[in-house]
Amino acid sequence: MTTDITALADALRTKAQLPADWDKAFRSVLREWFIPDRIWVDEHDDGHDVALDRATEPERWRTAVYSNRVIVTQFDDGDTVWPNAGYRPTSSCSMPSAVLGMLDVLDVRAGMRVLEIGTGTGYNAALLAARLGDENLATVEVDPVLADQARSALIAADCTSTVVCADGAAGWCAGAPFDRIIVTAAVKLGRVPYAWVEQTAPGGMILTPLKTDFTAGPLVAFTVGQDGTAIGRVAPLRVAFMELRAQRTSVFKWDGLRWDDPDADLTHTDVMPWTTLGNEAPQWAIAIAVPSCRYELWPRTCGRNPRHGVAWLADPLSGSWASVIPGLTKDRYEVRQRGPRRLWDEVEAAYRWWVDQGEPTLDQWRFTVSPDSQMVSLQ
């Protein structure tokens, strides 16, 4: 039983993905204790989740569990029944390197009290409890089925940490104050629950992924001040998490849009859409400036349009959309826009602003959460 965890730990350590102060806890908590018998996993990193059953394919299941991969444990809040894969994953056990990376950034020390938002399988909570002691860890899960499963798994692993079934956006005031709050769900920019700030001791940290409608955002470490204001800076780790359920938005489907719609307004641009939309630094500046906008990039080989790529923008709220394709000459692109918003014009303006600011990187942004407002600005 220990061979699998030892091999995984050694592999992560070789890649500098297992911090030394988490080595003992990681090797003592077997991931299989927290993984259901029936799961979904992207075995070949091709974006296709495969259903695995421990009863019928025990070795394949075990190989997946002890790999550095995300294990999906629920689709569509449980409405999709295994082996079917649903449209939206709603619970998973994150890849071990991401789990360890976040725990490293959390910077916990002996005696600290930690609140986890988003229990999921309970695996992350078990690692924290193994490091800090069961009594110093509480975890909150909004889904009652997941909360019960995680509580049972933790008890079976001899962990007596508190599992609370509640909306994590409210934190857990009964256990406050905490030295650290770690959030394993993405939070909308400008909507960091102030309850988390109130429940964190001055000088403590809130570690949470941020996001916008446009893109998954950075992992941000907020330091809570004596005045009740939390100042956040981007952590040196990139993660992508499911949305906090209280802030979840609908999944946008691109079906029905026609990139060459003859009724769309046709203009041209010299701004390359793939570089603009696909790169982290300008992407974040655009995300802040273009609320409710989504994007998608169709490559040349996309079966829906094999002749050339298409850069898509859409706003579900107004029904506006834009498509951008290569033009007839180099460095010139055709832009088609429909609806009350001119989405490409907004994106291009945000991109040019970013260029004028000296092309700041993601770690140059600063996030502020106060009792009355939330702001993001360049440092």
pLDDT of residue 298: 87
pLDDT of residue 330: 82
Q: Please state, in angstroms and rounded to a whole number, the distance separating the CA atoms of residues 140 and 165.
A: 6
Q: What is the arithmetic mean of pLDDT over 117-138?
A: 98
pLDDT of residue 52: 98
Q: Which is higher by pLDDT, 162 or 327?
A: 162
The per-residue pLDDT of the chain, averaged, comes to 94
Q: Grade residue 309 by pLDDT with cuts at 50, 70 and 90.
A: confident
- For the cut 80, the answer to whether the pLDDT of residue 306 exceeds it is no
pLDDT of residue 179: 98
Q: What is the arithmetic mean of pLDDT over 171-196?
A: 97
Q: What 8-state DSSP symbol labels residue 119?
A: -
Q: Please state, in angstroms and rounded to a whole number, the distance separating the CA atoms of residues 70 and 247.
A: 23
pLDDT of residue 208: 98
pLDDT of residue 249: 85
Residue 51, burial from CB neighbour count under 10 angstroms (0-12, 13-18, 19+): middle
- DSSP for 121-164? TSHHHHHHHHHH-GGGEEEEES-HHHHHHHHHHHHHTT---EEE
Q: Indicate the range of 17-21, 90-94, 239-243, 265-269 predicted with least confidence.
A: 239-243
Q: Please state, in angstroms and rounded to a whole number, the distance separating the CA atoms of residues 338 and 320.
A: 5
Q: What is the arithmetic mean of pLDDT over 247-255?
A: 85
pLDDT of residue 42: 95
Q: Which is nearest to 64 in space by CA: 55, 54, 74, 56? A: 54
pLDDT of residue 366: 97
The answer to whether residue 94 is catalytic is yes
- For the cut 50, the answer to whether the pLDDT of residue 1 exceeds it is no
pLDDT in tens, 41-95: 999 988 899 999 999 999 999 999 999 999 999 999 999 999 999 889 999 999 9
Percent of the chain at pLDDT > 70 equals 97
Element (H, E) at 287: helix 280-289
pLDDT in tens, 197-249: 999 999 999 999 999 999 987 999 999 999 999 999 999 999 989 999 999 88
Q: What is the arithmetic mean of pLDDT over 360-365?
A: 95
Percent of the chain at pLDDT > 90 equals 88
Phi, psi of 251 (to 5 degrees): -75, 125
- For the cut 80, the answer to whether the pLDDT of residue 10 exceeds it is yes
pTM over 0.85: yes
> Whose structure tokens read 């003859």?
262
228, 198 Cβ separation under 8 angstroms: yes
pLDDT of residue 302: 58
148, 84 Cβ separation under 8 angstroms: no
Q: Please state, in angstroms and rounded to a whole number, the distance separating the CA atoms of residues 180 and 205.
A: 5
| Annotated active-site residue in 94, 161, 320, 323 | 94
Beta strands in the chain (DSSP E): 38-41, 50-53, 71-75, 89-93, 114-117, 137-141, 162-165, 178-183, 187-188, 200-211, 216-224, 230-234, 265-269, 294-298, 310-315, 320-326, 333-338, 365-369, 374-378
Q: Please state, in angstroms and rounded to a whole number, the distance separating the CA atoms of residues 161 and 337.
A: 53
Dihedral of CA atoms 357, 358, 361, 364 in degrees, nearest 10, equals: -60
Q: Which is nearest to 82 in space by CA: 50, 43, 117? A: 50
Q: CA neighbours within 13 Å on the CB side: how many for 323?
A: 20
Domains detected in the chain: 97-246 (3.40.50.150), 265-354 (3.30.310)
pLDDT of residue 305: 56
